[in-house]
Amino acid sequence: MYKKYIKRILDIIISLCGIILLSPVYLVLAILVRQKLGSPVLFKQDRPGKDEKIFKLYKFRSMTDEKDASGNLLPDEERLPAFGKTLRSTSLDELPELFNILKGDMSIIGPRPLLVRYLPRYNDFQKHRHDVRPGLTGLAQTHGRNAITWEKKFEYDVEYVNNLSFALDMKIFFATVRAVLKREGINSGTSATMEEFMGTSAANEP
């Protein structure tokens, strides 16, 4: 009952209330992003959702469009200024995803939506992360976020899919609040964000 009906109803109520209550925050952030990082204010990118259906993800941009002499974009670390790091560490850049949740592309809780090009790189076990709607936050985000390996992250994602419940969603929600306040796991340890997922070798498969 919760998985099929109640979870979606709660997503609609929470995302709609969040959008209304946070409208002044959206306005301030939009102005600051435009002044400090340029336009467009929103970062839009195709991401796979439930059953690998592609949707357009919305986020506040956190990086500039600085390029080298050849016209190529600079590495993420060089395009991520202090303001962008603050947006990411506080997760404020992800607030526009409430519109994705309201539309039905995403859920409040679920595996994070990753890049479309990763789809053919998942093994059969990892593909199960797409059995549910992707989320604003998930089990992996409360257990290290970008500071854990891809394989461990996908293990948490599938664990969530297999044990989805109201109690687990509440546990993840409050753990996420704690993680955001402590700004835990923002970086991978070797990158400003997270290294590219290239696939899992047979030796590392669960």
Instruction: Give the per-residue pLDDT at 88.
Output: 87
pLDDT value, residue 183: 64
Determine the Cα angle at 98 with ends 183 and 125, to 5°. 75
Say if residue 96 is preceded by a cis peptide, omega within 30 of 0: no
> What distance in Å separates the CA atoms of residue 147 and residue 131, rounded to the nearest whole number?
24
The pLDDT tens digits for 42-76 are 999 999 999 999 999 999 999 988 887 777 878 77
List pLDDT tens digits, range 150-169: 999 999 999 999 999 999 99
pTM, whole model, 2 decimals? Answer: 0.87
| 175: exposed, middle or buried (Cβ count in 10 Å: 0-12, 13-18, 19+) | middle
Residues of the chain with pLDDT under 70: 183-194, 202-206
The tokens describing 92, both together, are: 């404020």
